[in-house]
Amino acid sequence: MPGRVRGRGGPLARRLFFLQLALIVIVCAALSVTSYVSTLGSAREATSERVLSIAETLAHDPFVISSVEGSDASAKLQPYALTVISTADVDFVTIMDRDRTRYTHPDPDQLGKDYIGSIDQALADESQVEVYVGTLGESVRAIVPITDSSGEVTAMVSVGVTLKTLSVARAAALPQIITVGLAAIGLGGLGSWVLSRYLRRVTLGYGPEQLKSLFAFYDSALHSLREGLILVDDDGRLVLYNDEAAELLGLPDPDERTPIPLAEVALPSSVSSLLSSGRDAVDEIHLTRDRVLVVNQKQASQPERGGFRSGSVSSSGGGSGSDFGGTVATLRDRTDIQELTGELETMRTLSEALRAQTHEHSNRLHTVATLIELGRSREALDFAVRDQQESQRLTDSFVDALDEPFVTALMIGKAAQAHERGVELTVTAAGELPPHSLDARDLVTVAGNLLDNAIDAAAPSEERHVWADFAAAEGELIITIADSGPGIDTEEFDAIFHLGASGKAAPAGSGGRGFGLVLVRQAVTRLGGDLEVESDGGAIFTVTLPLTEGGNDGEQ
């Protein structure tokens, strides 16, 4: 599917690169123009301040003041003004009389002619700065009054710099502005290129339309799966899980935007331990309160461009595919299958019991037939009646007490099975079991698996004995199954009821108590009961189940 999704505008990284580059060029161009205009304004302002300062200095120069009051002022002031023009780096210094008559000018031909510019403020004993077009062209000039000792304006001095000179200064700053702008564009372009390379790598070269389509496809596939899917990152947080996983584990509604720490989620201890460990798991059995789950877990890996490569979920998590980090776990619900397996096992047990009974009855019939052939009819009758009475006694004990046909049939079958294996089975029952107070399938699962394990454990022992007691009283059914086997190590008590918690098989030496005990615990949990185990010479399992009047349909 990923290889078939085609973008119409190129990869996302390429688009972002050109977009960022265009944006950088526009910003740098705007900044350069702004800097140029700002430089021009700053240069004009600085020039205005400079020419005003020079004009005020000349206006207060005693030589200038005395010269304008004496005769032949032009001859005295012209050389002085030319010196100031040269040293102060200005274009003109014009000293004039009140009637605009020039005493000084850079162009000797202009001496004695009228000054071109505003003098009204200067005649009013005020300084001013203006831009005016004179004989040298447009210029920035300052006009300052020259006053005598009494404060009367006797002459004026004008100092100016032409805009042509300012343009030269402005042009001198232009290469620097252009250089800075190009450097900014180059650095910005380089940063955009590096970012685009990173985006190309993390987006696998897809465009936004492709990413949108892929997300839609994968999100739809994720939530339509009939298997649970969980993604856990390296920080031990649930990054993603689908609806099926939420239902199987009792998780809140999926929210891809907010990872949830595993510690904040009420997961079964074995599942939480597996997800936290990050280890690989293949078809491990884990149990919730009412489900049997098959869990697989492997390290997550990054797909290649154009789709997921073969083996994208790497078992080692190494190589180029391990950039993502975290693990992917899948969950399959085997509850229904396991229930069918349990029922099949029960049927197998009953069929084995019937086979054992058939074999035993065949032997007894042969014995009876032989006794009759030998003419010993009385002994043959006593032998046949004694066998029938034994079976009837066991049946009557359950019918009179518990009146549970499924358990009665199971006990008769187990008695025959134990007898065939040379194990003595002692069954007792007391109390009254209300009709339909317990689910018959769960009750057969509990009793059948515990008896199977007890018979397996007692068979190789010296005493070869199993005890089964059913007592119904005060709203409870207490089932006690004990055997004469080797017992169970106290360190294994918890492990035998948590198959899958460590990813290992049932503990060695537990008498075959493996998955059956897990099913027993699950059935007891469904029935709202308690399960205890002790070891006193042999194993003793005690199950306490609450009874409800008509709360369960025993015929299910």
Q: pLDDT per residue over 146-160, tens digit each?
A: 988 888 888 999 998
List, for residues 355-380, the tens digit of each pLDDT value.
666 766 777 778 878 878 888 888 87
Contacts of 336 (CB under 8 A, 6+ apart): none
List, for residues 489-511, the tens digit of each pLDDT value.
766 666 566 544 333 334 433 33
Summarize the confidence of residues 250-278 as an average pLDDT. 76
Higher pLDDT, 177 or 240: 240
β pairing state of 465-473 and 292-299: unpaired
pLDDT, position 145: 93
Task: Assign 385 a pLDDT band (cuts: 50, 70, 90).
Answer: low
Give me the phi and psi of 314, to 5 degrees please. -75, 135
Which residues are paired to 315 by β-bridges?
none
Proportion of the chain above pLDDT 90, given as a percent:
7
CB atoms within 10 A of CB 451: 26
Options 1.10.3660.10, 3.40.50.970, 3.30.565.10, 3.90.730.10; CATH of 337-546? 3.30.565.10
Best CA proximity match to 412, nearest among 350, 484, 483: 350
List, for residues 462-473, the tens digit of each pLDDT value.
889 999 998 888
- 67-71, 108-112, 322-326, range with the lowest pLDDT: 322-326
pTM for the structure as a whole: 0.46
Q: Is 105 exposed, middle or buried (0-12, 13-18, 19+ CB in 10 A)?
A: buried
Task: Assign 445 a pLDDT band (cuts: 50, 70, 90).
Answer: confident
Higher pLDDT, 502 or 327: 327
Instruction: Considering the chain, tell me which residue range(s) the CATH 3.30.450.20 domain(s) occupy.
Output: 1-224, 228-333
pLDDT, position 448: 85
Helix/strand/coil percentages in the chain, nearest 5: 50, 20, 30
User: Is-contact 299 322, C-beta < 8 A?
Assistant: yes
| Backbone CA torsion sign across 116, 118, 124, 128 | negative
pLDDT, position 544: 93
User: Is-contact 444 408, C-beta < 8 A?
Assistant: no
- Cα–Cα distance measured from residue 482 to residue 446, given in angstroms and rounded to the nearest whole number: 14
Summarize the confidence of residues 402-417 as an average pLDDT. 74
pLDDT, position 159: 92
CATH topology of domain 1-224: Beta-Lactamase (3.30.450)
pLDDT, position 415: 80
Q: Considering the chain, what is the average pLDDT of its residues?
A: 75
pLDDT, position 313: 38
Determine the CATH number of domain 228-333.
3.30.450.20
List, for residues 33-52, the tens digit of each pLDDT value.
776 676 666 777 788 888 89
Query: Which helix (DSSP H) or strand (DSSP E) does residue 295 occupy?
Result: strand 292-299
Higher pLDDT, 156 or 136: 156
pLDDT, position 72: 83
Task: Assign 132 a pLDDT band (cuts: 50, 70, 90).
Answer: confident
Instruction: Considering the chain, tell me which residue range(s) the CATH 3.30.565.10 domain(s) occupy.
Output: 337-546
Alpha helices in 267-425 (DSSP H): 269-277, 335-373, 377-400, 405-420
Angle at CA of residue 49, ends 159 and 177, nearest 5°: 110
Q: How far is CA 249 from CA 147, 274, 502, in A?
A: 100, 14, 19
pLDDT, position 317: 36
- Cα–Cα distance measured from residue 502 to residue 284, given in angstroms and rounded to the nearest whole number: 9
